[in-house]
Each structure stands twice: as C-alpha cells, then as structure tokens.
Amino acid sequence: MKIIIILFAIILVVQVNAANSSYQCQKDLMNQANNGQVCQKGDTACLTDLKSLGKCTDNCGIQNNYDQKKSNSCVDQNCTVNDPTVQKFKNEFLNCLKNSINIVYFIYLISLLFLLV
C-alpha cells in the first residue's frame, strides 16, 4: 500500500512539473508574440498572419471546449499561415502542447505498468 501511495505521489509531482514546463514554454512563446519579437518591425504580412493565427487558435479552443488534444488538432489542420516566420512560431507552439500531452500519457503508461507488476 505504501508503494502505491509513493508511486501516485511521484506521478503527481512529475505531472505538475510537466504541466509547468509546458505552460512556461507556451508563456515564453506568447510573450514573444505580444512583445513584437516574432515578426520583424514593419513586416505587415507576418503581423497579419500572426493575428490570424491567434484568432484561429482562439476559435479552435472555443469550438473544442478547450480540450487540448482536439484544439491542437484543430489548429494544426485549420489554422493555415503563409508567412514562414509565423509557421515556425505555430510549429513551436504546437510542439509545446504536444510534448505536454506526450509526457502525461507516458506517465500514465508507467503508472499502469507499476500497478500491473
């Protein structure tokens, strides 16, 4: 019984750390966007694409009740961008989100393996 309690405590700590790192990754990228660090000064095509991506991302979140996996898929499939700088930003942002999902699934898999042993 103690082993199970310790295991769940470890899983909780790892999940919180994974969530924090994903949140920090997202926060850093959003700060770059909000501080004008994604597009070059005066690059209106980049700024237009970035604003369009922001609106599309918000719509995907709303349409999918902020379900992270469904929203990621929606953004990936429906939020098209033309500017290469914005495409890079989009890819980095989606990678932050996908990595957090993969970490959580990996943690659940490990916990199930421990429970089966």
Residue-level pLDDT at 86: 92
Which residues, 6+ apart, have CB-to-CB distance to 31 below 8 Å? 37
- In the chain, what percentage of residues exceed pLDDT 90? 22
Residue 116's pLDDT is 47
DSSP 72-110: HHHHHHH-----HHHHHHHHHHHHHHHHHHHHHHHHHHH
pLDDT in tens, 42-101: 999 998 998 898 889 888 888 988 787 888 889 999 999 999 999 999 999 888 877 665
> What is the per-residue pLDDT for 117?
45
Looking at residue 32, what is its pLDDT? 85
Q: How far apart are alpha carbons 4 and 72 in whole angstroms? A: 33
Question: Tens digits of per-residue pLDDT, 19-52?
Answer: 556 668 878 888 888 788 889 989 999 989 988 9
Query: pTM to 2 decimals?
Result: 0.69
Q: Which of 85, 4, 100, 91 is nearest to 38 (CA)?
A: 85
Give Cα separations from 76 to 10, 53, 63, 92, 109 (angstroms).
Answer: 32, 10, 14, 12, 26
